[in-house]
Structure 1
Amino acid sequence: MKKSKIVTLLSIIIAFTLISSAARAAPLVEDDPKTIAIYELFSATKMKSTFRQTIAKMLDLQIKQRPQMAPYRAVMLKFFAKYMGWNSLKADMAKIYASKFTVAEIKKLTAFYQTPLGIKTALLLPQLAAEGAALGQRKVQANLGELRKMIVAETAKIKAKK
């Protein structure tokens, strides 16, 4: 495998790892009212399918940027399903939500996601995330020359200090 393919694979793995790295909090108590409320929120937001769709869309975005990765799509999806799939991350995601929201807030969010607008929002989140990521990539790509110049200038400053 070429070095660029390995770098791309590692970049994708690192990006998805960052999603779950924040979950290293206190152990989750499954029958706790807060945990139950969080799982109800996850159900209302269709989090399992949202995760699956988001992973696929982000991977497809990477493949669009680097078409040489296309033959590895199925392998990467299988890997991500195993380690970044909803069943693997559900408890850790619940810890993240538990650290950010009160039970009352979680219940309000759940109520929202049960409304027509909330359902629409939940269904569109993977697409919105993918489009936002694509927008960011396009902006960076369009301005890579400027970034290179900034890095060269900073490298010169660092060397001058030594």
Structure 2
Amino acid sequence: MKLKLLIIALLFCAGARAQTTPDITPAHLKAAEDLLKVTQADMLFKQNMGTMLKQASTNIPEDKRAKFIEVMNTFVAKYVSWETLRDQMAAAYAKEFTAAELKGLIAFYSTDLGKKLLAKQPALVSKGAEIGQQMVQSHQVELQQMMEAAFKDSK
């Protein structure tokens, strides 16, 4: 089930296309790109993808796990890499934040507190994913029953 969710998430990310809006100026887009640089979004993206793949691999039999991770890493590097998503992410940020807001975020992430948040974020994302996984696992029987009931009713 987790593998299917990961593949769906990867397909969603790969299929996402940035919407160009006429109110996004080159300076606005540049501010979004600068924010992505300051926040080390490329590094965080790669770490988060690694965390997702590692957690998705826990449902793969141990003797196939290394090969699964290898194939997924190859696929991600080819189609869902930071390099393929960077421009779309900058456009997404520019769409959600004004140029002034982006500059404010850049100022924050340039402070000691902002840098500390950036340093702690990978561990926090990993811990959050771990907590979520534990919650699902602790209620897995109920979830399975809910799914069976939902799909039984839809036949």
Unaligned 5+ residue runs, structure 1? none
Kindly indicate whether residue 137 of structure 2 is the aligned counterpart of residue 141 of structure 1: yes
Q: How far is 1:38 from its partner?
A: 0.7
User: Which deviates more from structure 2 when the two are superposed, residues 29-38 or residues 72-81?
Assistant: 29-38
Kindly indicate whether residue 12 of structure 2 is the aligned counterpart of residue 34 of structure 1: no
Partner of 2:102: 106
Identify the match of residue 59 of structure 1 among 46, 49, 53.
Answer: 53
Q: Is the 8 A contact 1:34 1:103 kept in 2?
A: yes
Against the structure 1 CA distance between its residues 156 and 50, is the aligned structure 2 distance closer, same or farther, given a 3 Å change threshold? closer
TM-score, normalised via structure 2 length: 0.82
Q: How far is 1:86 from its partner?
A: 1.2
Q: How far is 1:75 from its partner?
A: 2.8
Matched residues, number = 153
Aligned residue type for 2:125: A
Against the structure 1 CA distance between its residues 23 and 37, is the aligned structure 2 distance closer, same or farther, given a 3 Å change threshold? same
Partner of 2:41: 47
Q: How far is 1:29 from its partner?
A: 10
- Say which SS state the counterpart of residue 140 (structure 1) adopts: helix
Superimposed CA distance per residue, residues 69-97 of structure 1 (whole angstroms, 9 cap, x where no aligned partner): 22232232122122211111001101211
Provide the rounded CA distance (Å) in 1 between the counterparts of 2:115 and 2:130.
24
Q: How far is 1:127 from its partner?
A: 2.4
Partner of 2:84: 88
Aligned residue type for 1:139: M
Superimposed CA distance per residue, residues 84-128 of structure 1 (whole angstroms, 9 cap, x where no aligned partner): 111110011012111111111101111111111211212332322
Partner of 1:17: 11
Provide the rounded CA distance (Å) in 1 between the counterparts of 2:24 and 2:82.
16
Deviating beyond 6 angstroms after TM superposition, the runs of 4 or more aligned structure 1 residues are 27-31
Give aligned-pair identity as a percent. 33
- Say which SS state the counterpart of residue 19 (structure 2) adopts: coil
Aligned residue type for 2:76: F
- Say which SS state the counterpart of residue 26 (structure 1) adopts: coil
TM-score, normalised via structure 1 length: 0.79
Unaligned 5+ residue runs, structure 2? none
